[in-house]
Chains A and B, each alone.
Chain A
Amino acid sequence: MVATFEPKKNYKVIGTRPIRHDGLDKVTGRAVYGADVKLSGLIWGAVLRSPHAHARIKSIDTSAAEKMPGVFSVMTAKDLPLAESKEVDLGEGTANFKYASNNIMASDKVLYRGHAVAAVAATDRYVAEEAVKLIKVEYEPLSSAVTVEQALAPNAPIILEDLEGDDLGDEVKNTNMAKHIRHEFGDVEGGFSKASTVVEREFKLAMVHQGYIEPHTATATWDQEDRIKIWTSTQGSFSVRTQVAGILKMDASRIRVTPLEIGGGFGGKIPIYVDIVAAVLSKKARGRPVKIVMERKSVFEGSGPASGGTVKIKLGVDDSGKITAGQADIRYEAGAYPGAAIGPGAMCVFACYDFPNSRIDGYDVIVNKPKSAAYRAPGSPQVAFATESVVDEICELGGWDKLEFRQKNASHEGTRRGDGVLFPRIGMQEVLDAVKKTEHWNSKLEKDGPDGKKRGRGIASGYWMNVGLKSSVSLSVTTDGTVALVEGSTDIGGTRASIAMQAAEVLGIPAEDVRPVVVDTDSVGFTDITGGSRVTYATGYAAYNAANNLVDVLKNRAAILWDLDESDIQFEDGAFSSKSDPELRLTFKELAGKLNDTGGPATSTGTVDLESAGGAFATHVVDVEIDPETGKTDVIRYTAVQDAGTAIHPSYVEGQMQGGAVQGIGWALNEEYWMNKDGVMTNSSFLDYRMPTSLDLPMIDTIIVEVPNPLHPFGVRGVGEVPICPPIGAIANAIHNALDIRLYEAPMNAGRILKALGK
């Protein structure tokens, strides 16, 4: 059963902008991030990685490394148990233990450049890196396939020889196609026959990386009682525990994971890469703690980026400007193991609009690239680029206003999403209405810029469904009237504050009087990952539950204090009082001071397991200025509009909107895995990967729309992911508006613009 809530108003804490609780440590250098952990006897690990995109490992000789002074232990895939082939849900994406194990350390074949093959632990990082060079690996290079087209070609090399592909339920062997799914409703052909305008286009996207600034890191001990402790930078300590237990075939109870501060993740720090390596090296070094920090090149080559691929969209519209049918073909690069975000891509591709008839095919394609991972609304930005470009083109063909067309076709409560789900109360129409009122949309853009530059404006929307899942929170009252809040959600962008504020709202105390701490897997109940835009929603909900439970505990204390029946105690406006005797009234703080007279410590817990989350919609408007002689595009004005349900801490909601928009801008204009003919990424550094710098951007204006989510007591919707969905399409449409060229391939870099201009 799903509880639903009426929107409330007059919050005291929610909607304010307190200083985040972990802020001081983070502006003074005191915060302890993954690589900062210090342990007695610490040694360092380093990993040897494949120089080939695809090769058979004929032999590995580690003897010289083992003999090198300063080396404690060496490991290869032989040191890992044969993990079973079993799918587990990690909250945002899944893991198959066998493939996850092979991804952590290659056994018989290397499947991508950067695939780990061996590792060393030594006195320090420099010695470990030198020792790794002494490991001799004999490879038999194999031909590789790094794009969807190459991997699905008839003569393609088979990358996973044991893969059983699933083609709409039929098993396929000898294939790189791991999965083909289809969602269909209505009469698609009939819908297209009613259309007066039909546009069909194919889009291509390059693989891109989340680009978190902190590299993956882990420190581990594996002691003589076979207990593993891991200190790591992760989006989910419990999902690390699940993965480690599954791959090492151990009971989860033998593993304790301590999440340290995390320097960005965006989905990329859900899978593990070096945690198990550090643990195994520790075991072989008689339990010495082993720390591994991946270098940036390995992060690009050997962690999980977002899929590139192709998206084909066909859209039909009738004379009145109503969409009659849509068809999509989504083919994503899974990387070396199955699991591209084709499911979410299919859910999102048509989600912004009301489609009476729809057919969506998705293909999960194995290629010789690192195994893809979640990246902020995984699978959605790619399809939004395609759909929003086609919508733009249709509007021009039909002569419809680009905003009014979107308003006319916007999804609403009861609209059927592409995968068949019916929308609950959502905010797509309200977002578009808000766009229509913005000064940006209503301002006139001078089409000619300085020095012959051309300007254009683009608009695009995006959707992300968000997730709910499991969270746990526990509270304990300090007698000074403050509350300690213990949670398991690693805080990547201010969620300590947004969770503490929800507890504070219930308890009627200031946000500053709640002290949130993120703890290890033995110190709090199970909590799913920080991902799926779920933390403020789900862990916040758990905090709400815990706070209400705490109110019940304190009502009981008041009853003891006043010698009344508990049913006579009420809690309103931050104070406990007697319904029968208005003279009896104690604030939360006053009552907290009397705990020792009424039974001692007051604690509570709250948990949730939420099936759904209520989706989030965003629409972005962008102005670009392009030098037609060089193809250089500058973003000169940007407005992001988004339904946040209820913004708990508006500054951090804005921050998510701005950060997501800018990642989308990078994806649109410059970011890509540039692969050479040997399947090697040649731009594996921040120099050549080209994420936006401060000088590449204007201010990112934000407008928060609040259509309260009926599934959450305060109306919260997840806000983190959807802002990355609109930018690619919005910029494509702005480029078209500026230069009258339409680009069907991202990134839409200067070279592609010049080419489209015939230069």
Chain B
Amino acid sequence: MHPFAYVSPKSIDEAVATLNKHGDRARPLAGGTDILVQARTGRFDLDAIVDVKTIPELVSIKHDSNGLEIGAAVPCYKLYENAEVSAEYPGIIDAASIIGGIQIQSRAGLGGNLCNASPSADGICPLIVHNATAVIAGPSGTREVAVEDFCTGPGRNVLEKGEFLVSLKLPKPPEGFGAAYVRFIPRNEMDIAVVGVAASVVLDSSGNSFQSGRIALAAVGPTPILATEAGRALEGKPVNEQTINAAAAAAKEAAKPIEDMRGTVEQRKHLIEVLTRRMLNKAVERARGAK
């Protein structure tokens, strides 16, 4: 491992200054569960690592009537151990509960999961279906990017020199909202998604038809995919098998997987259809239960 310095800034500005000085020779450290492995195995050489957990905004959760803001370095367990957040944002809780084992969940969070920009990330698709935006700080101030636009390729994202992720903002879910995430893995834990599907729905007041829906797919493209057509297939339609199957078929269409050691193209496309169906049913169940 290339030797690097350890920097622990106390403010966002201080972190931006350090990151800007080193360019791509420095990276922020949140949970460290991806970056320390990558540094050790020589994915990149760093001169400095910037521990952002010493910045108050990065480790706080703000939850009020307007929505939820999760600091980029908040570890998974702080989400699923928070009963209010768990009740209102079930999709991200599904993900936070399955990223790594308990040890990993003590450190890893959704912010790091997003920045790592793995196509198979468990955290990104649920953020997308919860309409999350990424709050980014940089040399020219802060900006916000929709999570579905954040990743630009495997391991690549929109962050520019000196920029880093500060927080994730999730709007307050509307009435009739339900969301869920599941992945397919060969084991029951400690695995990378062969595919993952997040779905969210908004049901009308009767609970019997879809107002809208969002479906996002993991590990079937170079980035997590927002399956726009699949979500549109739900709009205004009755909640029934036919509607859900149509959305699942559209999700399968949107999936553009490759074959690797985790699965084949056919297997992944098939699983997308199966899991989309299951997640839509679960999201509906949650939407109805939440009423």
Task: Spell out A's residues near B (CB within 8 Å).
Answer: 126, 129-130, 133, 297, 629-632, 634, 669-670, 674, 682-683, 687-688, 690, 692-693, 695-696, 749-751, 754-755, 759
Rounded to whole Å, the gap between the CB of B220 and the closest CB of chain A is 15
Using Cβ atoms and an 8 Å threshold, which residues of chain B touch A130?
A: 1-3
> How long is the Cα–Cα vector from A531 to B275 in the complex, in angstroms?
46
B187 interface residue per 8 A CB criterion: yes
Contact A695 B187 (CB under 8 A): yes
Complex: A632 Cα to B190 Cα, angstroms:
15
Q: Which of B2, B42, B184, B187 contacts A693 (CB 8 A)?
A: B187
Chain A neighbourhood of B263, CB < 8 A: 751
| Residue B264 lies at the interface, judged by CB distance under 8 Å to chain A | yes
Cβ-defined contact, A630 with B1, below 8 A:
no
- Bound state CA distance, A297 and B42, in angstroms? 13
| Alpha-carbon separation in the docked complex, A663 to B41 (Å) | 28
The secondary structure that dominates the B interface is loop
Q: By the criterion CB–CB under 8 Å, are A754 and B1 in contact? A: no
CA–CA, A685 and B261, complex, Å: 12
Query: Which residues of chain A are near B189, meaning CB under 8 Å?
Result: 693, 695-696
Q: Give the residue among A669, A692, A751 with the most B Cβ atoms within 10 A.
A: A751
Residue in chain B with minimal CB distance to A692: B187
Q: Is B261's CB under 8 angstroms from A688's CB?
A: yes
Q: Is B187 touching A629 in the complex (CB atoms < 8 A)?
A: no
CA A751 – CA B184 in complex, angstroms? 11
Tell me the number of A-to-B contacts counted with CB atoms below 8 Å: 57
**Is B12 interfacial (CB 8 A cutoff)?**
no
Q: How far is the CA of A396 from the CA of B2 in the complex (A)?
A: 61
**Cross-chain contact B274 with A630 (CB below 8 angstroms):** yes
B278 to chain A, nearest CB (A): 9
Chain A hits for B260, CB < 8 A: 682
CA distance A133 to B42 in the complex (A): 10
Residues of chain B lying within 8 A (CB to CB) of residue A129: 1
Of the candidates A126, A692, A751, the one whose C-beta lies within 8 Å of that of B264 is A751
Nearest chain B residue, comparing its CB with the CB of A127: B3
User: Which of B186, B187, B267 is the most central at the interface, judged by chain A CB atoms within 10 Å of its CB?
Assistant: B186
Chain A residues whose C-beta falls within 8 Å of the C-beta of B261 in the assembled complex: 674, 682-683, 688
Contact flags (1/0) for B161-205 with A, using CB distance below 8 Å? 000000000000000000000001011111110100000000000
Residues of B with C-beta under 8 A to A693: 187-190
Is A750 in contact with B188, judged by CB distance below 8 angstroms?
A: no
Residue B270 is within 8 A (CB to CB) of chain A in the complex: yes
B78 within 8 A of A: no
Q: Which of B129-164 contact A (CB under 8 A)?
A: none
B3 and chain A: residue at smallest CB distance: A126
Residues of B within 8 A of A629 (CB): 274
B262 at the interface (CB under 8 A from A): yes
Cβ contacts under 8 Å, B246 to chain A: none
- Give Cα A133 to B192, complex, Å: 29
How many Å lie between the Cα of A218 and that of B192 in the bound state? Answer: 33
CB distance from B281 to the nearest CB of A (A): 11
Q: Tell whether B271 is near chain A: CB-to-CB under 8 Å.
A: yes
B274 to A, closest residue via Cβ: A629
A682-B260, A683-B261 known; A669+B1 contact, CB < 8 A: no
Known contacts: A632-B186, A670-B186, A688-B262. The answer to whether A754 contacts B2 by CB under 8 A is no
B184 to chain A minimum Cβ distance, whole angstroms, is 6
Cβ contacts under 8 Å, A126 to chain B: 1, 3
16 A-B pairs in the complex with CB atoms less than 8 angstroms apart: A126-B3, A129-B1, A630-B271, A631-B267, A632-B186, A682-B261, A683-B261, A690-B186, A690-B187, A690-B191, A693-B189, A695-B187, A696-B187, A750-B184, A750-B194, A751-B263
A674 CA / B192 CA spacing, docked (Å) = 15
Return the 8 tightest CB-CB contacts between A and B, nearest first: A674-B261, A695-B188, A683-B261, A751-B267, A629-B274, A682-B261, A670-B186, A695-B189
A755→B192 CA distance, assembly (Å): 21
Q: Which residues of B contact A750 (CB under 8 A)?
A: 184, 186, 194, 267
CB distance from B1 to the nearest CB of A (A): 6
CB distance from B223 to the nearest CB of A (A): 20
Contacts of A690 in B (CB 8 A): 186-187, 191
In whole angstroms, what is the CA distance A133 to B190 when docked?
31
Question: Interface centre among A126, A297, A682, A754, by most B CB within 10 Å?
Answer: A754
- A130 CA to B42 CA, complexed, in Å: 10
**4 other A-B residue contacts (CB within 8 Å) besides A630-B271, A692-B187, A751-B267:** A688-B192, A690-B186, A690-B187, A693-B189
In the complex, the answer to whether B270 meets A687 with C-beta atoms within 8 Å is no
Q: When chains A and B are docked, how far (Å) is the Cα of A683 from the Cα of B194?
A: 13
Instruction: For residue B57, give the distance in angstroms from its CB to the closest CB of chain A.
Output: 31
Determine if A687 and B192 form an interchain contact, defined as CB atoms under 8 angstroms apart: yes
Q: How far is the CB of B97 from chain A (nearest CB, A)?
A: 13
Q: How far is the CA of A634 from the CA of B210 in the complex (A)?
A: 35
C-alpha spacing A755/B267, complex, angstroms: 8
Closest approach, in angstroms, between the C-beta of A241 and any C-beta of chain B?
34
Taking each of A126, A630, A692, which has the highest tally of chain B beta carbons within 10 Å of its own beta carbon?
Answer: A630
Complex-state Cα separation, A209 to B139, whole angstroms = 49
Of chain A, the residue at the smallest CB distance from B275 is A630
- Whether A669 pairs with B2 at a CB distance below 8 angstroms is no
Taking the closest CB of chain A, its distance from the CB of B252, in whole angstroms, is: 12
Give A672 Cβ to nearest chain B Cβ, in Å: 9
Alpha-carbon distance between A213 and B263 when the two chains are bound, in angstroms:
26
Q: Smallest CB–CB gap between B192 and chain A, Å?
A: 6
Q: Is the CB of A759 within 8 A of B270?
A: yes
The answer, among A630, A683, A696, A749, for a CB contact under 8 Å with B188, is: A696
Q: Name which residue of chain B comes closest to A750, CB basis.
A: B186
- Specify the chain B residue showing the minimal Cβ separation from A749: B186
Q: Are B186 and A669 in contact (CB under 8 A)?
A: yes
User: Once the chains are docked, how many angstroms separate the CA of A751 from the CA of B190?
Assistant: 19
CA distance A696 to B190 in the complex (A): 11
Task: Look across to chain B and name the residue whose beta carbon is closest to the beta carbon of A697.
Answer: B188
Determine the chain A residues whose CB is within 8 A of the CB of B271 once the complex forms. Answer: 630
Tell me which residues across on chain A come within 8 A of B194, comparing CB atoms: 750
Alpha-carbon separation in the docked complex, A754 to B260 (Å): 16
Bound-state Cα–Cα, A77 to B191, Å: 39
Distance in angstroms between the alpha carbons of A690 and B186 in the assembled complex = 8
Question: A682 contacts which chain B residues (CB < 8 A)?
Answer: 260-261
CB of A369 to closest CB in B, whole Å = 15
Q: Which residues of A contact B275 (CB under 8 A)?
A: 630
The distance in angstroms between the C-alpha atoms of A631 and B267, with both chains bound, is: 10
Are B191 and A754 within 8 A (Cβ)? no
Residues of B within 8 A of A749 (CB): 186
Q: For residue B101, which residue of chain A has the nearest CB?
A: A693
Q: How far is the CB of B166 from chain A (nearest CB, A)?
A: 29
| Cβ-closest chain B residue relative to A673 | B261
Query: Which residues of chain B from 222 to 274 have any CB-CB distance to chain A below 8 Å in the complex?
Result: 260-264, 266-267, 270-271, 274
**Complex interface: chain A residues within 8 A of B184 (CB):** 630, 632, 750
A685 to chain B, nearest CB (A): 9
Q: In residues 4-55 of chain B, which contact A (Cβ within 8 Å)?
A: 41-42
In the bound complex, what is the Cα–Cα distance between A353 and B274 (angstroms)?
44
Chain A positions within 8 Å of B186 at CB level: 632, 669-670, 690, 749-750
Q: Does A754 contact B267, Cβ atoms closer than 8 Å? A: yes
Chain A contacts for B191, CB-based, 8 A: 687, 690
Which chain A residues border B262 with CB–CB below 8 Å? 688
Which chain B residue has the least Cβ–Cβ distance from A688? B261
Chain A residue at smallest Cβ distance from B2: A130
Q: In the complex, what residues of A have CB within 8 A of residue B192's CB?
A: 687-688
Q: How far apart are the CA atoms of A693 and B190 in the complex, in Å?
A: 8
Q: Which residue of B lies closest to A747 (CB)?
A: B186
Decide if B187 touches A670 in the complex (CB within 8 Å).
yes
Residues of A within 8 Å of B188, CB to CB, are 634, 693, 695-696
Q: Which residue of B lies closest to A633 (CB)?
A: B186
Task: Determine the chain B residues whose CB is within 8 A of the CB of A696 once the complex forms.
Answer: 187-189
State how many angstroms separate the Cβ of A691 from the closest Cβ of chain B: 9
A129 to B204, CA, bound (A): 60
A451's nearest neighbour on chain B, judged by CB, is B278
Cα–Cα, bound, A749→B191 (Å):
14
**Which chain A residue lies CB-closest to B191?**
A690
For the complex formed, measure the closest distance between the CB of A51 and the CB atoms of chain B, giving whole angstroms. Answer: 12
Residues of the B chain whose Cβ atoms lie less than 8 Å from the Cβ of A695: 187-189
